[in-house]
Amino acid sequence: MLSRWSFVAFLFTSLLSAQTLTVPGGTLVAGSEITVGYSDPAKAGKTVTVDVNDALPPAPNRGKILIQLDEHGNGQATWIVPYWEVALFNAPDVPEEARFVAPWAPRR
């Protein structure tokens, strides 16, 4: 019985401290400004680094986005999308986010 309660407590704690990385969906447009967000109540008041790279071997291009978290652990920062083919976003304790990058915006 104790192990069942331990599991429930672990699950509840995990849900309370859920981290999220928010990157605009779909294809990004090179040269445009996007807003990247991060949330983690356990890191409230701290600065989080989002590492971005283009995954090109042998030495990928790299960038960093610094996000200052508020007292609730939420924050966002703007970033200018470089002229890459793809952008991979990596932040602490969240799955990697991948986006294709278009060289220009499609006509509507």
The pLDDT tens digits of the residues spanning 76-97 come to 999 999 999 999 999 999 999 9
What is the domain extent for residue 22? 16-102
The pTM (predicted TM-score) of the whole model is 0.81
Residues 14-25 as b/e (b if ≥16 CB within 10 A, e otherwise) read eeeeebebbbee
Residue 20 located in a structural domain: yes
- Is there a domain that residue 71 lies in? yes
- pLDDT at residue 87, as a whole number: 98
In a domain, 5, yes or no: no
CATH code, domain carrying 52? 2.60.40.1930
The pLDDT score that the predictor gives to residue 55 is 94
Please tell me the predicted confidence (pLDDT) of residue 11: 43
What is the number of structural domains in the chain?
1
Instruction: For residue 4, tell me if it sits in a domain.
Output: no
Q: Supply the pLDDT for residue 23.
A: 98
Residue 10 lies in a domain: no
Residue 9 in domain: no
CA distances from 72 to 16, 18, 78 (A): 12, 12, 19
Q: Which residue has the higher pLDDT, 11 or 18?
A: 18
Phi, psi torsion values for 98, nearest 5 degrees: -120, 140
Q: Is the residue at 64 inside a domain?
A: yes
Q: What is the pLDDT of residue 104?
A: 85
Instruction: Name the residue type at position 88.
Output: L
In a domain, 1, yes or no: no
pLDDT at 99 over 50: yes
Lowest pLDDT segment from 12-16, 40-44, 103-107: 12-16
